[in-house]
Amino acid sequence: MRQTSRRRFLFGLGIALVIGVWLFREPLRVRITRSATLANPAPPPELVEEMIETSPDRAAAILAAWNTGKIVHRQAAVSEISRIGSPGQPLSSELESIVLAGALDVDMNVRETCLGILRNRNDPALAYLASAQLQDRDPQVRLLGLNYLKHVSASVGVPAVISLLDEDDPLIVATGLKLLENWSGENFGVKLRETSPFENEKTGLKEFPEGSREKAATGARRAKVWWADHQAEFPPVSLEIPREAISARKPVPAGDFSLRALDGRQVRLSNLRGKVVLINFWTTWCSACVSEMPELIALQKQHGDRLVIVGVSLDFVPDEHGHIGGHAAVEEQGLRGEEHHDHERNQEALEKVRKKVARTVKARGINYTVLLDEGNEIGGRFNGGELPTTVIVDAQGNVRRRFVGARSLPVFEAMIAEASEPVRFAFGTNDSASPDLSRAAAKR
């Protein structure tokens, strides 16, 4: 009798479990998908966005993605914030903190998205945070700040732009002068097209047009004369950094990985701890990647053992047609199908790519380690599909910079010096501070 009762109990329990799983299958699926997505170091960005959008608590999912500290997840989180509600609706305090901190983030993509959110929501913090970009060591970040300064009042924007008139970069000076013209109604005689860099077809390097620096300097002198006459109209403005922009900032761990170098040895990121590491994602067919190699070679030569540069080749990543790196030799290898098995054909294709990477390294005289990311394992974590992408990791293993596009040797030098210093969440101190815009150029 007891045995029969026990069987009935177990049978009933089994039926209850089946019914429970059936009734709650969707919440279980969502929870499992969320956990797997958050744990994945390199998911497709659209997968993270889908996880957030299908979550019953979208704000909580955004916060969870941001708090992973992973590059892909953080970018997806701020992208989803930009899609929430309307400009007139306030964000929750948690999401507002992410946006404010993100405007000063180590990842330039995150910065740009968060500044856009502040602009679209007419957030008063935009005035400070756009001005704060002008003190950055990266000229592309300073240009980003200028792009958003056009949305603030002249009382804030004019003194900020005046601080950039002695810049060496003619495009930054010209962009600032155009903003001054909008605010002042004056014409300082400089056109943006006269100062915009172009790519040299022979070298692949970005170059400024001939005479662009002289034209920018002439316009700057005119602006200084105007400023001398009108400075009294622009009393100092107190721009308080929002506390959340500092308190919400957290270290972004680079994580660990191991890839094979061209010489066959395994290189593990954690073994490089104690030194600044510059990770440069590139391909042999990316002209911008190849054009900045002389800068990286010179940087490695100047810093020796104090800096580790690793070039991560993404030539092995298939394009939209399934061809590895889009190389013609590999495509042809894939078309001679019948006499080879898929595995053999793939191995031959990979070997062709390895040889091409090796030829490029030798021809360019690369003096830093080149790693082969055959499965896009690390590229998927940091790259995002744009080239060249550079990630700078400090001696403690935290990401200090992530940006897309080539940079000059002086800019790389400034970034390496920054990554060699303790983290400074504000400008000049570890506490909340208002930037002295009149001295911004001198600080750089």
CA dist 256 and 51 (Å) reads: 25
CA dist 384 and 313 (Å) reads: 14
Least confident of 101-115, 142-156, 370-384, 430-444: 430-444
Model confidence at 48: pLDDT above 60? yes
pLDDT at residue 319, rounded to an integer:
63
Mean pLDDT of the chain: 85
pLDDT at residue 87, rounded to an integer:
75
Could you tell me if 123 and 109 are in contact, meaning their C-beta atoms sit under 8 angstroms apart?
A: no
Q: Which residue has the higher pLDDT, 205 or 81?
A: 81
> CA separation (Å) from 121 to 19, 133, 155, 255, 398?
47, 19, 20, 34, 31
The three-state secondary structure class of 324 is strand
Banded model confidence at residue 243, pLDDT cuts 50, 70, 90: confident
Could you tell me if 252 and 107 are in contact, meaning their C-beta atoms sit under 8 angstroms apart?
A: yes
Averaged over 191-198, what is the pLDDT?
90
* pLDDT tens per residue across span 141-155: 999 999 999 999 999
Averaged over 305-319, what is the pLDDT?
91
Residue 2 zone, left/alpha/beta (φ > 0; ψ -120 to 50; rest): alpha
Residue with tokens 């998927």: 380
Could you tell me if 76 and 65 are in contact, meaning their C-beta atoms sit under 8 angstroms apart?
A: yes
pLDDT at residue 331, rounded to an integer:
44
Could you tell me if 426 and 433 are in contact, meaning their C-beta atoms sit under 8 angstroms apart?
A: yes
Q: To the nearest whole percent, how much of the chain has pLDDT over 90?
A: 68
Model confidence at 302: pLDDT above 60? yes
Rg (CA), the chain: 26
Averaged over 329-337, what is the pLDDT?
44
Model confidence at 426: pLDDT above 80? no
283, with CB counted inside 10 A (0-12, 13-18, 19+), is buried
Least confident of 30-34, 66-70, 189-193, 347-351: 30-34
Least confident of 227-231, 261-265, 307-311, 395-399: 261-265
Model confidence at 173: pLDDT above 80? yes
- Identify the DSSP state of 239: -
pLDDT at residue 444, rounded to an integer:
40
Could you tell me if 115 and 141 are in contact, meaning their C-beta atoms sit under 8 angstroms apart?
A: no
CA dist 19 and 173 (Å) reads: 69
Model confidence at 19: pLDDT above 50? yes
Could you tell me if 256 and 273 are in contact, meaning their C-beta atoms sit under 8 angstroms apart?
A: no
Closest by Cα among 335, 369, 330, 336 to 350: 330
Banded model confidence at residue 349, pLDDT cuts 50, 70, 90: confident
Banded model confidence at residue 45, pLDDT cuts 50, 70, 90: very high
Structure tokens at 22: 């059936």
Least confident of 3-12, 290-299, 303-312: 3-12
pLDDT at residue 89, rounded to an integer:
82
Residue 347, phi then psi, degrees to nearest 5: -65, -40
**121-389-108 Cα angle (round to 5):** 20
Model confidence at 70: pLDDT above 80? yes
Residue 359 zone, left/alpha/beta (φ > 0; ψ -120 to 50; rest): alpha
Q: What residues does 272 pair with on adjacent strands? A: none
Banded model confidence at residue 443, pLDDT cuts 50, 70, 90: very low
* pLDDT tens per residue across span 270-279: 999 999 999 9
CA dist 126 and 132 (Å) reads: 10
Q: Which residue has the higher pLDDT, 430 or 62?
A: 62
Within a 10 A sphere around the Cβ of 58, how many other Cβ atoms?
16
Closest by Cα among 318, 278, 284, 283 to 411: 278
pLDDT at residue 429, rounded to an integer:
34
Residue with tokens 């900045």: 292
The three-state secondary structure class of 160 is helix
pLDDT at residue 28, rounded to an integer:
55
Q: What residues does 183 pair with on adjacent strands? A: none
Greatest extent of the chain over all pairs of C-alpha atoms, in Å: 104
pLDDT at residue 32, rounded to an integer:
79
Model confidence at 320: pLDDT above 90? no
Could you tell me if 145 and 177 are in contact, meaning their C-beta atoms sit under 8 angstroms apart?
A: no
Q: Which domains does the chain have, with CATH numbers?
A: 1-120 (no CATH), 124-251 (no CATH), 258-419 (3.40.30.10)
pLDDT at residue 321, rounded to an integer:
58
Q: To the nearest whole percent, how much of the chain has pLDDT over 70?
A: 82
Residue with tokens 């077809």: 201
Model confidence at 95: pLDDT above 90? yes
Model confidence at 436: pLDDT above 80? no
* pLDDT tens per residue across span 283-295: 999 989 999 999 9
Bond before 388 cis per omega within 30 degrees: yes
228, with CB counted inside 10 A (0-12, 13-18, 19+), is exposed
